[in-house]
């Protein structure tokens, strides 16, 4: 399951389309104007409604270092604020590097300095302080602790995901589970781990039917994209394309595939052909400035939220006191609102 998920091969590529008409030597300008008006009308229809219910004002992202890096969260917020300016939503990133939902940690993790943090230790505090109206959760990458598939470890992951789901929904808050990004064995050192994340992703996708969970697939769109680009490179004798240089942490292209998959999964079809964030909002005035301000706000607030909610992972940035960070974030929000259409 999951391997036949629709993917968009246009990410990161430029496509040219030749149009033949029966107009001969007649002017084609009117035809082009009609087409342009049709595209604009379609764009307006696609963005006529918001992706989240009207009562959603705080969207929380839970996850590990990939979520903490935050580029996909920033992409989603920037896109949403530019395309849906009439719904005010705060996108909160509380991703914590090294974290698992399985509670597992390999021997000698971080050279023996500390075990992997466990979401069980902090989830209650996070939910209490952030008070989300909607939750996205992206786990799995660390949960098999970079070893081949083992049924005991797999069960720990499933138990953790079931627990997380129950803890969120008992508060009356919707949760969308995200399949984990891919592990690239050509760049990482953990042989067999790509298959582990395939299985974890398949299980999550199965929960859409088995348990009626909301699940959005990030894993297979990333895998399909990586494999397609590697085939192209191989045809030209090139060896080196990667979404994650270390096999784990995606770069900008990988984060855009994640963001795009989430937006598509939430119902935004207008983003389908966009090769990157800039292209997805290129027709909107001041888009570049808004993206920069959103990125600055996300960088400020993720450390403030992590510090305020507390965790047991050493080496993290100490964020500003939450009230001070929120004051600064409000100033950035005011700048963003002035730039919105």
The Cα–Cα gap between 168 and 126 comes to 11
> Per the structure, how many domains does the chain have?
1
Please report whether residue 287 resides in a domain: yes
Please report whether residue 203 resides in a domain: yes
pLDDT, tens only, 10-54? 343 333 232 223 323 334 333 333 333 343 333 433 454 789 999
Please report whether residue 157 resides in a domain: yes
Q: Domain holding 269: CATH number?
A: 3.40.50.1110
Please report whether residue 174 resides in a domain: yes
The pTM is what?
A: 0.86
Instruction: Supply the pLDDT for residue 239.
Output: 74
Domain containing 272 equals 29-339
pLDDT, tens only, 81-96? 999 999 999 999 999 9
pLDDT at 330 over 50: yes
Please report whether residue 184 resides in a domain: yes
Instruction: Supply the pLDDT for residue 322.
Output: 98
Q: Per residue in 81-101, is it b (16+ CB within 10 Å) or e — as a string?
A: bbbbbeeebbbbbbbbbbbbb
Instruction: Work out the angle at residue 234's Cα, subtended by the Cα atoms of residues 200 and 217, and round it to the nearest 5 degrees.
Output: 25
pLDDT, tens only, 162-203? 999 999 999 999 999 999 999 999 999 999 999 999 999 999
pLDDT, tens only, 274-285? 999 999 999 999
Cα–chain center distance at 283: 23
Give yes or no for a contact between 179 and 201, defined as CB atoms under 8 angstroms apart.
Answer: yes
């Amino acid at each position: 399951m999951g391997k036949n998920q629709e993917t968009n091969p246009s990410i990161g590529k430029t496509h040219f389309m030749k149009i033949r008409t029966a107009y001969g030597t007649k002017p084609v300008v009117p035809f082009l104007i009609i087409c342009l008006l049709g595209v604009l009308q379609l764009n307006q229809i696609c963005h006529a409604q918001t992706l989240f219910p009207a009562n959603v004002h705080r969207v929380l992202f839970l996850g590990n270092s990939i979520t903490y890096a935050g580029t996909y969260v920033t992409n989603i917020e920037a896109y949403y604020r530019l395309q849906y300016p009439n719904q005010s939503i705060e996108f909160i990133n509380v991703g914590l590097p090294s974290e698992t939902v399985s509670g597992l940690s390999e021997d000698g993790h971080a050279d023996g300095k500390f075990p992997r943090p466990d979401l069980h230790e902090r989830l209650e505090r996070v939910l209490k302080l952030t008070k989300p109206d909607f939750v996205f959760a992206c786990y799995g990458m660390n949960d098999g602790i970079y070893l081949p598939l083992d049924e005991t470890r797999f069960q720990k992951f499933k138990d953790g995901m079931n627990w997380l789901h129950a803890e969120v929904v008992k508060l009356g808050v919707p949760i969308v589970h995200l399949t984990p990004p891919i592990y690239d064995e050509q760049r990482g050192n953990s042989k067999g781990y790509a298959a582990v994340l395939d299985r974890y992703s398949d299980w999550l996708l199965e929960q859409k039917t088995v348990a009626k969970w909301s699940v959005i697939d990030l894993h297979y769109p990333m895998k399909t994209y990586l494999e397609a680009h590697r085939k192209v490179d191989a045809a030209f004798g090139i060896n080196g394309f990667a979404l994650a240089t270390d096999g784990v942490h995606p770069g900008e292209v990988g984060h855009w595939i994640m963001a795009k998959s989430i937006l598509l999964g939430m119902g935004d079809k207008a983003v389908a052909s966009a090769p990157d964030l800039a292209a997805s909002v290129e027709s909107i005035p001041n888009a570049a400035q808004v993206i920069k301000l959103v990125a600055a706000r996300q960088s400020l607030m993720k450390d403030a939220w992590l510090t305020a909610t507390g965790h047991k992972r050493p080496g993290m940035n100490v964020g500003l006191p939450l009230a001070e960070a929120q004051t600064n974030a409000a100033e950035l929000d005011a700048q963003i609102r002035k730039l919105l259409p």
